[in-house]
């Protein structure tokens, strides 16, 4: 446990085993699904609910689309649903671990022969920004069309990273293969959805859940806060141990996701320090009538300080002109696999673009490569 983590108060809740549920509040359950990455799990939530005169459960987030995750969902349905259907799927955002299985859950969890477990078809609830982007990226036909477009280089990760100083040819080849990666984990999405809006709370289980929109990590992330339960489903916006990734990708190369993210964190400041936070990765924290430290506000302060420090380090290193690839090992000094490298590259660029938007650095393009230098 690092120093920052030691300031966090974890809720004294046992971790649910694969295929099991752990109750975290009245009618609210925690489940974990495996992920085939260095970040090896995602937390999902089930809430007892009633919709259109039916009793059942609402799922918050889904896990990625693979057979292991489907088998675990089947196991949970058999052990815990007691014949009740999944009534609704709420997805916090478009990332594959959060929405990858929405299409399958919303078809009533069909078996390999296509036989649905439930005749009820749960609707998918997401923000417009997340739903539209997920639909766009999950379309394989569109991905193919994009690859063949005359300006395909503009959206290629390999070219994006080359413009930012990646010189290793092996990495270039690996990055070229990443186009279409999203579609491999989110093969499709339901063709209709219910739109989540910030001023339109959801009623789940007879209680009101406010929608808190956040930017920077994904286009229009929805976190959910239930005042009656003093419970925050924070998605990926507020995590206890790791800092949320925010990346600059080829589709929006001049974006300022870190600026958007830090602004968005302010939207959580009105919530109480003692709310129980249910994050998508790591363990629930806060709660327990905390009034001064170890909960939400402690973590928000840590996140601001963390990024302020990273920005200062990046700025100090850019006293001479540097590419993002040169700044990356300053911000990420540990060994990275290629998957981690792509996120580290995107996040390094998020810090450099923040400095650039704040006019702390200037950006020069020399022979097709971008250099950042302290202004
Ligand atoms: Zn995410």
CA of 42 to the centre of ligand 1 (A): 10
Contacts (Cβ under 8 Å, ≥6 apart) of 266? none
CA of 209 to the centre of ligand 1 (A): 20
pLDDT for residue 67 is more than 80: yes
| Percent of all residues in the chain with a pLDDT value above 70, rounded to a whole number | 97
Q: Is the pTM of this model over 0.75?
A: yes
Neighbours of ion ligand 1 (CB under 5 A): 95, 236
310-344 as b/e, with b when 16 or more CB fall inside 10 Å? bbeebbebbeebbbbbbbbebbbeeebeeeebbbb
pLDDT score of 164: 97
| pLDDT reported for residue 143 | 67
Is the predicted pLDDT of residue 89 greater than 70, yes or no? Answer: yes
Distance, CA 39 to ligand 1 centroid (Å)? 11
Residue 167 pLDDT > 90: yes
Average the pLDDT over 168-191 and give the result. Answer: 86
What separation in Å is there between the alpha carbon of 74 and the centre of ligand 1?
24
pLDDT at 220 over 70: yes
Residue 97 CA, ligand 1 centroid: distance in Å: 7
Quick: pLDDT tens for 192-214: 999 999 999 999 999 999 999 99
State in Å: Cα 93 to ligand 1 middle. 7
Is pLDDT at 4 greater than 90 in this prediction?
no
Q: Regarding predicted confidence, which is higher, 142 or 201?
A: 201
| Backbone torsions φ then ψ of 202, nearest 5 degrees | -90, 145
- Taking residues 58-79, what's their average pLDDT? 95
Residue 116 binned pLDDT confidence (cut-offs 50, 70, 90): confident
Does position 369 have pLDDT exceeding 90, yes or no? yes
Distance 373 CA to ligand 1 centre (A): 30
Rounded to whole angstroms, how far apart are CA atoms 102 and 297?
Answer: 32
Tell me the fold of 3-134+183-301. Metallo-beta-lactamase; Chain A (3.60.15)
E-strand stretches of the chain: 22-25, 28-34, 41-51, 54-60, 86-90, 124-126, 194-195, 202-204, 207-214, 221-226, 231-235, 276-279, 285-286, 361-366, 369-374
Which residues, 6 or more positions from 305, have their beta carbon under 8 angstroms from its beta carbon? none
Q: Please give the distance, rounded to the nearest whole angstrom, from the Cα atom of residue 83 to the centre of ligand 1.
A: 31
Query: What is the residue extent of each domain of the chain?
Result: 3-134+183-301
- Looking at residue 1, what is its pLDDT? 65
120 alpha carbon to ligand 1 midpoint, in Å?
A: 28
* 122 CA → ligand 1 middle, Å: 22
What local confidence, expressed as pLDDT, does residue 294 receive? 87
């Amino acid at each position: 446990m690092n120093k920052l983590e030691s300031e966090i108060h974890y809720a004294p809740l046992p971790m649910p085993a694969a295929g099991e549920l752990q109750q975290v509040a009245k009618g609210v359950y925690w489940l974990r699904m495996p992920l085939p990455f260095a970040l090896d799990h995602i937390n999902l939530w089930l809430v007892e609910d009633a919709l259109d005169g039916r009793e059942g459960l609402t799922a918050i987030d889904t896990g990625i689309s693979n057979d292991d995750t489907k088998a675990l969902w089947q196991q949970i349905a058999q052990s815990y649903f007691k014949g009740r259907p999944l009534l609704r799927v709420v997805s916090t955002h478009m990332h594959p671990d959060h929405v990858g299985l929405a299409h399958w859950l919303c078809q009533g969890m069909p078996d390999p022969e296509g036989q649905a477990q439930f005749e009820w078809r749960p609707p998918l609830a997401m923000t417009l920004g997340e739903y539209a982007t997920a639909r766009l990226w999950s379309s394989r036909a569109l991905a193919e069309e994009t690859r063949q477009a005359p300006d395909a280089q503009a959206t290629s990760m390999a070219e994006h990273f080359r413009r930012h100083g990646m010189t290793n040819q092996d990495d270039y080849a690996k990055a070229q293969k990443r186009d279409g990666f999203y579609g491999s984990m989110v093969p499709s999405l339901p063709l209709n959805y219910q739109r989540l809006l910030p001023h339109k709370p959801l009623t789940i289980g007879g209680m009101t859940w406010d929608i808190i929109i956040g930017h920077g990590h994904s286009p229009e992330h929805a976190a959910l806060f239930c005042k009656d339960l003093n419970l925050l489903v924070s998605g990926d916006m507020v995590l206890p141990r790791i800092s949320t990734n925010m990346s600059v990708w080829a589709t929006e190369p001049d974006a300022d996701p870190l600026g958007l993210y830090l602004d968005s964190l302010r939207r959580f400041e009105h919530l109480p320090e003692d709310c129980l936070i249910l994050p998508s990765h790591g363990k629930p924290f806060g709660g327990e009538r905390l009034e001064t430290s170890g909960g939400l506000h402690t973590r928000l302060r840590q996140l601001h300080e963390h990024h302020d420090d990273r920005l200062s380090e990046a700025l100090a290193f850019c006293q001479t002109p540097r590419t993002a690839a040169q700044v990356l090992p300053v911000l990420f000094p540990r060994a990275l696999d290629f998957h981690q490298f792509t996120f580290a590259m995107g996040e390094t660029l998020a810090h450099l673009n923040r400095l650039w938007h704040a006019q702390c650095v200037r950006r020069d393009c020399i022979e097709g490569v971008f250099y950042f230098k302290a202004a």
